[in-house]
Amino acid sequence: MSAGWSKRRDIDPLADGQARFDFAIPLADFARLRPQLAAVGDDLATGSVAFLRDQGFAAADLEVRASMPLACQRCLGVVRYEVSERSHVLLIGTEPEADRTPAGMDTVLAPDGRVSVQDLVEEELLLSVPAVPLHASPEECVARPAQAEPAEESTVQRPFERLGELLKRNK
């Protein structure tokens, strides 16, 4: 499904027909993921999604692989975060329908009973992003530039330096 991965499709026919799609989606095409990336290049999210029925609900088995360039929060350099995830989610058309799903099952809202492969993959990638991306060890961090020499005393501004004198004069 190279060209149609962003097309929203009805979940019921997908599940009833047990549709399966392989995908290779550029990371740059994920609008909600893009701000998390340190760089946007030619990186791809690859994998497959298989639709099925599970306990009367439309469901999707998703397999995603990606190498995401994230900003290390220690050195701000690029750290590659490898994603290799498998998930099984129930697709629900409305929020009240979520109350009827079996306990412990992951759900994805498919507004109006429609979903795109891109939406499913992006959700999985967003869930995979660590809260604080870091290199595995501090030694891997990019060397930081040397600190600039402190500014000369004459360039330091002191806006409240004469405030005491002004307050004494006004008494």
Interval 110-139: pLDDT, tens: 988 899 999 999 999 999 999 999 998 888
Chain centroid, CA 164 distance in Å: 53
Kindly state the average pLDDT of the residues 144-149.
Answer: 52
CB-CB contact of 114 with 15 (8 Å): no
When comparing pLDDT for 23 and 95, which is higher? 23
pLDDT for the residue 157: 79
Q: What's the CA gap between 45 and 162, in Å, rounded?
A: 61
Q: What's the CA gap between 4 and 6, in Å, rounded?
A: 5
CB-CB contact of 45 with 127 (8 Å): no
- In this prediction, residue 140 has a pLDDT band, given cuts at 50, 70 and 90, of confident
Task: Tally the C-alpha atoms within 13 A of residue 88's C-alpha that lie toward its C-beta.
Answer: 7
Q: Mind listing the pLDDT tens digit for each residue in 158-167?
A: 888 888 787 8
Q: What's the CA gap between 141 and 150, in Å, rounded?
A: 25
pLDDT for the residue 2: 43
pLDDT for the residue 1: 38
pLDDT at residue 27 above 70? yes
Q: Mind listing the pLDDT tens digit for each residue in 48-93?
A: 999 999 988 999 999 999 999 999 998 989 999 999 999 999 999 8
Cβ contacts of 129 within 8 Å, gap of 6 or more = 33, 36, 68, 70, 81
pLDDT for the residue 63: 97
- In this prediction, residue 155 has a pLDDT band, given cuts at 50, 70 and 90, of confident
pLDDT at residue 10 above 60? yes
Count the helix, strand and coil residues of the chain and give each as a percent rounded to the nearest 5: 25, 35, 40
pLDDT for the residue 40: 86
